[in-house]
Structure 1
Amino acid sequence: MNDDTQLQCDVLVVGGGINGAGIARDAAGRGLRVVLCDKDDLGSHTSSASSKLIHGGLRYLEHREFGLVRKALLERETLLRSAPHIMHPLRFVMPHDSAQRPAWLIRAGLFLYDRLAPRAFLPGSEAVELAAHRAGSPLKPAFARGFVYSDGWVDDARLVVLNALDAHERGATVLTHTRCAAFERHPHYWIATLVQGERNRRRSIPVRARCLVNAAGPWAARVAQVATGSAPKRRLRLVKGSHIVVPRLFDHKYAYIFQHPDGRIVFAMPYEGAFTLIGTTDVAFQGDPDGVAIAGAETAYLCELANRYFRRQIAPADVVWSYSGVRPLLEDEAASASAATRDYLLGRDTAGAPLLSVFGGKITTYRRLAEEAADWISGVLGRTGPRWTAQAVLPGGDLFGSAPSSRAVLEFDRWVAALERRHPWLPAGLALRWARAYGTRVEILLAGAAGLDDLGEEVAPGLYSAELRYLMRHEWAGCAEDVLWRRSKLGLHLPPGCADQINAWMAAERPQAGEVALTEPA
């Protein structure tokens, strides 16, 4: 593509997080011409720094956000059916602390949580005696009673990638590491200048779009102001949420929900087999979201809360990894960050070419948000198409047919066993990891392979060149960080130095002559 060649599209989506990728997918599926760009990798900021939960938000009931909780609960099983490989049901244990909420109030809240939306396969809540329950043994003896309820787990970074992949396979152009440097509004179209690459590989890509979607997450207010010349009517509250990962504190599949005496809720969840994930904090944030990082006080806070409940005590020195993200919450004048609403607002502006700005939101409601956004976009462009994403699976989710099904959620292990029978030479751990990451698309990765030697070089332990080629060609992976911390969490498992080996291999595999691909993956 020459620098003076202009991309023509119906919709330019700025921001490759979960909301931007979801909107691009939905719009492309309605026949709109879509360009999605992000200045960094897909999901490299807020969308890969979540608590990894598909949940209604039990604690939001305390703030009387019944509409938000119901909206999220309605989405739980829809999402689980759509991607049973990267999502799965998860049971949560809530130890009861008699010094905090009374048991009757917790039972009432769980009763409401169970009934705000229908459940096809997630079991309801129940009271348990922790002394006789498997999840009770890691806890201190003072916690004798508790409650168990259902929500879901998601690989958040892969959820973003799969939405972008589906958008691409439906005709969208996906441009990573491509910054929207400027845009100019006209009565019926936008002219945007995208800048792709760095230094001597930089190229400018002009885009003409009928509609601009601002899905820039923590930067959304700034983008809206530049686009319109005035500050948006609704302000955003930027809140930092941090998590820590420590060696495994328990060996069962339950997760925990704990309450700190200050009222904050923190989760402790099984993570990557050998670890426990603990989070999150809620800290007011000012500054550049690109530079967000956990503070020592946050690490100490999370360790303190875990130590309040678990027999095994941890200290900041036990933390093997941590991550932080900036959540752009709608400013609702709540006294604390934890009480601020997690609902979303779509800012619709037709004072010229259409502009849609996404403010707020949570990962559980991303599909619903994208659907509402695509309704408005297609309507204002005169290209109305039917809603479709609630009846569709994400790439790799068609385990037992092309339609979403409860069976794919409930019988995932059976599907994995069938995969292992088809490829008996695959090590069990590798087969499971690939099944969870790629679902049915693992067969693309395995095409023509009849043994481990056919997977090519083992670039790092358990990471073969066949997988790296797949990630580069189909999932926009450009460096070791993309592979180790977003397309997978192999960074937790591999020895030091592997990132350099992977970067060297990827550099040798990449096209030479300084070319920057416009529409990859091919």
Structure 2
Amino acid sequence: MTEQIYDLVIVGGGVNGVGIARDAAGRGAKVLLLERGDLARGTSSASTKLIHGGLRYLEHYEFALVRESLIERERLWAIAPHIIWPLRFVLPHQKGIRPAWLVRLGLFLYDHIGGRKKLPATRTLHLHDSPAGAPLKPEYDKAFEYSDCWVDDARLVVLNALDAAEHGADIRTRAEVTHLERRDGLWHIEIAGQPAVTARAVANAAGPAVLDLLARTTGHQRKPDERIRLVRGSHIVVAKMFDTPQAYFCQNPDGRIFFAIPYEDDFTLIGTTDADHQGPLDNITATEEEIRYICESAGVYFKQKITPDDVIYSYAGVRPLVDDGSGKPETASRGYHFDLDTDAQGTAPLLSIFGGKITTYRHLAESAVGKLAEYLPMLAGPSWTLEKPLPGGDFPMDGAEALCSRFATLYPFLPMPLIRRLVRSYGTSAQKWIGEAKAIADLGTDFGHGLYAAEVDYLIDQEWARSADDILWRRSKLGLRFDSAQAAALDAYVLSKR
């Protein structure tokens, strides 16, 4: 039997890996993506969940990165209006940190260097006369309100993987690469518990483990500039702190910033921190010190005091940043670069991705595919990832409410809160698993909080879910609502379907 040869094997099922898989498969390459855990199991589900330019990066003169991100912001909203939507941010002026004129100048640049078209511009708020000032302490009387976008980060990863699969890519989770070796102009890749595979090219999109993968690679010569800086970002979730629709962007006296963001209807998400990370890359958690720091930071701005005892949930992720020699972790670049090497004959390319941020993933993937096109001629086709919506995103940028109304007509037995969650998770694709249901009972077992067997079966069959955690924390955020007994019952059901 002739061994199957892939054009491109991608190692890493985070946002950069699935973005490359989507782009390359759509151009006709035979693609295999290997992820050792679940899709988005690491950094890509542990972000602040923003599609944004990065206002604070202007302060570090990263104008090119901010511009690239701002250009991508509305592009991504257009192809994924179900999981990305506009959000206004209130930046209270904190006297003694940055002068108001400097903040306003930064926001003027933010409004104008990225081709903003749909999002509203910055405006000045007088907090004592604005509902946005109600949650804040009375000493804050002036603020600036600007625009960015919110994203369901883990679903962004899954939807890119789905689209890659629809274009013929082979997506494998729980597939750990143990060794890579160049042999006769091809890559031979060993996978724990599975037959080895062969590929013409490899993309190393392992994120924080990018150097670990290179250490398991025979035939790659380590280069001096192959360095990353691992920076841990932690977040907390508390009960809803404010009823205003805006999020808050706050400056700390130590130069750091944090966001307080409306989250999953009944909660507030607060973060992030920046701390150099040492040690293992599995099971990253927020430290007690980081949780306390976030609570104390929020206490400087908000009337409602929160303590570590108020934290319902916390999470942390490690960002694989380009090691640019910055002193403080919060000043390290959020840009990215590629390292491409080949064998002596100029074949079997290995492309390693260093750095990056969720907002630039699509453009990063497009650039990565462009670099590989010299070796894989089928990749030389035109760029296409901006033209086709992600699965379920085939409706107008401002059409989520209209889609909710349409679903309410089609499925009058579904409560509106559930419809809104389904639209925000699946967009038009929700119809794939609701199907011909005429009553709520047709959706099967109710596991709680609007999660029914029909949806679970779809997530197992189509979205690579293999555990309750995959469903409760990455395919959805229902883990915030499930108790331990409900989660155990769901896990037993998922295991029974495998």
TM class by smaller structure? over 0.9
1:222, CA displacement in angstroms?
A: 2.1
Tell me the amino acid that sits aligned with residue 392 of structure 2. G
What is the match of residue 509 of structure 1? 497
1:315, CA displacement in angstroms?
A: 0.3
1:127-138 alignment, distance < 5 Å: 127-138=124-135
Question: Which range is displaced more, 220-229 or 277-286?
Answer: 220-229
- 1:228-264 Cα shifts (integer Å, max 9, x gaps): 1425523100000000001110012100000110000
What is the match of residue 518 of structure 1? none
SS in 2 for 1:497: helix
SS in 2 for 1:388: coil
Tell me the amino acid that sits aligned with residue 476 of structure 2. S
1:7, CA displacement in angstroms?
A: 3.7
SS in 1 for 2:203: strand
Match of 2:249 among 236, 249, 257: 257
Query: 1-side partners of 2:53 and 2:224: how far apart?
Result: 28
Query: 2-side partners of 1:506 and 1:63: how far apart?
Result: 47
Residues 5 and 205, structure 1, Cα contact 8 Å, conserved in 2: no
1:13, CA displacement in angstroms?
A: 0.3
1:280, CA displacement in angstroms?
A: 0.4
Query: 2-side partners of 1:458 and 1:390: how far apart?
Result: 38
Residues 1:316 and 2:308 are matched in the alignment:
yes
Identity across matched positions, percent: 49
What is the match of residue 261 of structure 2? 269
Query: 2-side partners of 1:342 and 1:436: how far apart?
Result: 28
1:88, CA displacement in angstroms?
A: 0.3
SS in 2 for 1:368: helix
Match of 1:381 among 366, 376, 380: 376
SS in 2 for 1:327: strand
Query: 2-side partners of 1:363 and 1:158: how far apart?
Result: 12
Query: 2-side partners of 1:313 and 1:327: how far apart?
Result: 29
SS in 2 for 1:367: helix
Residues 25 and 167, structure 1, Cα contact 8 Å, conserved in 2: yes
1:418, CA displacement in angstroms?
A: 1.4
Residues 460 and 501, structure 1, Cα contact 8 Å, conserved in 2: no
Query: 2-side partners of 1:152 and 1:477: how far apart?
Result: 27
Query: 2-side partners of 1:412 and 1:291: how far apart?
Result: 35
SS in 2 for 1:212: strand
Match of 2:393 among 397, 403, 407: 397
1:363-374 alignment, distance < 5 Å: 363-374=358-369
Tell me the amino acid that sits aligned with residue 428 of structure 2. T
Residues 1:59 and 2:49 are matched in the alignment:
no
Structure 1's unaligned 5+ residue stretches are 196-202, 400-407, 511-522
Residues 1:205 and 2:195 are matched in the alignment:
yes
- 1:345-375 Cα shifts (integer Å, max 9, x gaps): 0111123410000000000000000000111
Residues 1:289 and 2:285 are matched in the alignment:
no
Query: 2-side partners of 1:225 and 1:353: how far apart?
Result: 17
Question: Which range is displaced more, 346-355 or 226-235?
Answer: 226-235
- 1:47-83 Cα shifts (integer Å, max 9, x gaps): 0000000000000000000000000000000000110
What is the match of residue 493 of structure 1? 481
Query: 2-side partners of 1:360 and 1:70: how far apart?
Result: 17
1:52-451 alignment, distance < 5 Å: 52-195=49-192, 203-227=193-217, 228-231=220-223, 233-351=225-343, 352-383=347-378, 384-399=380-395, 408-451=396-439
Query: 1-side partners of 2:221 and 2:357: how far apart?
Result: 27
- 1:426-480 Cα shifts (integer Å, max 9, x gaps): 1111111111100010110111211101101113342110000000011000000
Residues 92 and 150, structure 1, Cα contact 8 Å, conserved in 2: yes
Tell me the amino acid that sits aligned with residue 212 of structure 1. V
Query: 2-side partners of 1:458 and 1:412: how far apart?
Result: 25
- 1:280-305 Cα shifts (integer Å, max 9, x gaps): 00000111111321111100100000
What is the match of residue 42 of structure 2? 45
Residues 247 and 320, structure 1, Cα contact 8 Å, conserved in 2: yes
- 1:374-423 Cα shifts (integer Å, max 9, x gaps): 11222322222111001121000002xxxxxxxx2223212211111111
Tell me the amino acid that sits aligned with residue 311 of structure 1. K
Query: 2-side partners of 1:431 and 1:288: how far apart?
Result: 40
Tell me the amino acid that sits aligned with residue 220 of structure 1. V
1:125, CA displacement in angstroms?
A: 0.5
Query: 2-side partners of 1:302 and 1:339: how far apart?
Result: 18
Q: Tell me the number of residue pairs that the alignment of Structure 1 and Structure 2 aligns.
A: 492
SS in 2 for 1:409: coil
SS in 2 for 1:291: coil
Tell me the amino acid that sits aligned with residue 465 of structure 2. A
Aligned CA RMSD, in angstroms, stands at: 1.2
For normalisation by structure 2, the TM-score amounts to 0.97
SS in 1 for 2:214: helix
Query: 2-side partners of 1:485 and 1:415: how far apart?
Result: 25
Query: 2-side partners of 1:493 and 1:291: how far apart?
Result: 21
Structure 2's unaligned 5+ residue stretches are none
SS in 2 for 1:345: strand
Residues 224 and 231, structure 1, Cα contact 8 Å, conserved in 2: no
Tell me the amino acid that sits aligned with residue 413 of structure 2. W
1:424, CA displacement in angstroms?
A: 0.9
Query: 1-side partners of 2:273 and 2:423: how far apart?
Result: 32
Residues 245 and 276, structure 1, Cα contact 8 Å, conserved in 2: yes
- 1:12-33 Cα shifts (integer Å, max 9, x gaps): 0000000000000000000000
- 1:253-282 Cα shifts (integer Å, max 9, x gaps): 100000110000100000011100000000
SS in 1 for 2:285: coil
What is the match of residue 477 of structure 1? 465
Tell me the amino acid that sits aligned with residue 147 of structure 1. F
Tell me the amino acid that sits aligned with residue 375 of structure 1. G
Query: 1-side partners of 2:484 and 2:214: how far apart?
Result: 42
Tell me the amino acid that sits aligned with residue 381 of structure 1. L
1:99, CA displacement in angstroms?
A: 1.4
For normalisation by structure 1, the TM-score amounts to 0.93
